[in-house]
Amino acid sequence: MAVGLPENIFLTRLDAAASWARSNSLWPMPFATACCGIELMATAASRHDISRFGAEVMRFSPRQCDLLIVAGRVVMKMLPVLQRIWLQMPEPKWCMSMGACACTGGVFDTYAVVQGVDRFIPVDVYVPGCPPRPEQLLAALIEMQAKIMRTGTFTGREFAERTTPTGPPRFDIDEVRRFREAMPVEGLQTYMPPIVDPEATKHMSNYPVDIPK
């Protein structure tokens, strides 16, 4: 005996229902350290209105959030804080890296700035731009929702499969090239040539730069 479905009832998978609910009710944790944070605020404000996509409830406690938005450069003193915040967030959780600095370090290629947060925490969606416009962030949020709908499961088992780091290895080929550049080059003309009189400067230590192998 075939029984038709009554009105207002439909059948689906539990995974799809959970992903649908989760993706349309993301609670972002704004980790705003720089100018990207201003664009993030603009995205949440009335003109761009991130609440149209159900992600307007910004909480400043990681325990109440499921979407970490890293907006701005992260220095090496701040990275342990970021990792701790990420670990404090309850499952299921996602991470969005907003702007050139959070994704790659941007123009801040210096000793103190982490060259992309994806080297040390998992990242789901990257938002390019310096800083990204609010429209870009909204597009990334829609992409985030699509990703949750596409891959999400009720038990979060898709997370357990991601056992490799999201970012490049610790010392990638680019980093090796940078180390080579940092080494003094014989015969290279600089804008201010080094001192040639060893007698006048023999008390100044000019020990060579040692580079980790």
Partner 1 sequence: MLELAALHERFSREITESTFRDNRRVIVPEDKLYPVLEFLLRERGFDMLVELTAVDYLEYPKATDRYGVVYGLINTTSGERVFVKTFVNPPEPELPSVYPLWRSADWLEREVWDMFGIRFVGHPDLRRILMPDEFTAFPLRKDYPLKGRGERHNFPVITRAES
Tell me how far, at minimum, the Cβ of 149 lies from partner 1, in Å.
Answer: 18
Does position 189 interact with partner 1 (CB under 8 A)? The reply is no
Of 9 and 182, which has the nearer Cβ to partner 1?
A: 182
Of 27 and 159, which has the nearer Cβ to partner 1?
A: 159
From 32, 43, 85, 120, residue interacting with partner 1 (rule: CB under 8 A):
120
From 6, 12, 60, 161, residue interacting with partner 1 (rule: CB under 8 A):
161
Of 51 and 171, which has the nearer Cβ to partner 1?
A: 171
Does position 176 interact with partner 1 (CB under 8 A)? The reply is no
Measured distance CA(35)–CA(132) in Å, rounded: 10
Of 52 and 178, which has the nearer Cβ to partner 1?
A: 178
Measured distance CA(76)–CA(82) in Å, rounded: 10
DSSP string for 118-162? GGTS--SEEE-SSSPPHHHHHHHHHHHHHHHHHH--SS-HHHHT-
Does position 112 interact with partner 1 (CB under 8 A)? The reply is yes
CA atoms lying within 13 Å on the CB side of residue 49: 3
Of 38 and 176, which has the nearer Cβ to partner 1?
A: 176
Tell me how far, at minimum, the Cβ of 184 lies from partner 1, in Å.
Answer: 9
Does position 182 interact with partner 1 (CB under 8 A)? The reply is yes
CA nearest 147: which of 135, 155, 159? 159
Residue 117 near residue 69 (C-beta atoms within 8 A) = no
> Across the chain, where does the E strand assignment appear?
28-32, 67-71, 94-98, 125-127
Of 47 and 77, which has the nearer Cβ to partner 1?
A: 77
- Burial string for 65-100 (b: 16+ CB within 10 Å, else e) reads bbbbbbbbbbeeebbeebeebbeebeebbbbbbbbb
Measured distance CA(76)–CA(115) in Å, rounded: 10
Does position 195 interact with partner 1 (CB under 8 A)? The reply is yes
Binding site for partner 1 (CB under 8 A): 76-77, 79-80, 83, 86-87, 109-115, 119-122, 159-166, 170-171, 175, 178-179, 182-183, 192-195, 200-201, 203-207, 209-212
